[in-house]
Amino acid sequence: MIYSLYIISKAGGLMYQKDFNEGLAHLTANEYLVFAGTFHGVHAITSKISPVRNSTSSGLEVLEADSFKLYCFQTLTGTKFLIIADPTHANIDLVLRRTYDVYSDYVMKNPFYTPEMPIRSELFDVNIVKLIKQVGG
């Protein structure tokens, strides 16, 4: 079961947030923004505090909690896709990449979209919901 999807810009701003299933506490619009910003900062630090010397260190990829798992996929351009799902849900990596496909098709290819700004596209919304339904959200 997939609870929610976040898309965070490379500057740490929340570009998109959608809840698909009940199960997590509801936050206010402002708290979602704070969440995105905080996560962005923590993500940057987690790549710095690696105990092993390896210059190609990614930031946080999976966060495990007792009631959910949070998966983060950072694209080469710095945009972060976050999916919060049930701890038992498998193959979230695939879902994240397909979310990126949908984002590329319906957001980046939209000539009226300003990069880094909140995503307000009906077509994107519809296709994301379809994708999540397909993978058993």
Partner 1 sequence: MGSNNAGTASATTSMNGQPDGGDLGGSPPHSAAANNHLASHHSTTSQLTSATSMFSDSRLVNIEEESKLVYGVVRTLRNLVNKLSGNQDGFISYRTSNYKLHYYETQTGLKFVINTDPSTESLRPVLRQIYTNFFVEYVVKNPLAPVGHPGGEGVNNEYFKAAVDKFVKNLSFFDS
* 134 lies in the site for partner 1, by CB under 8 A: no
Task: Examine residue 60 and tell whether it contacts partner 1 (CB under 8 A).
Answer: yes
What the block records as the tokens of 29 is 């619009």
Under the binding rule (CB under 8 A), the answer on residue 30 touching partner 1 is no
- Binding status of residue 27 toward partner 1 by CB under 8 A: yes
Q: Contact 105/121 with Cβ under 8 angstroms?
A: no
Q: Which of 45, 90, 108, 117 binds partner 1 (CB under 8 A)?
A: 45
52 in contact with partner 1 (CB under 8 A): yes
3 contacts 82 by C-beta, under 8 angstroms:
no
Are 102 and 131 in contact by the 8 Å Cβ rule? The answer is yes
Copy the structure tokens of residue 85: 């799902």
Residues that bind partner 1 (CB under 8 A): 24-25, 27, 31, 35, 38-39, 41-42, 45-54, 56-68, 84
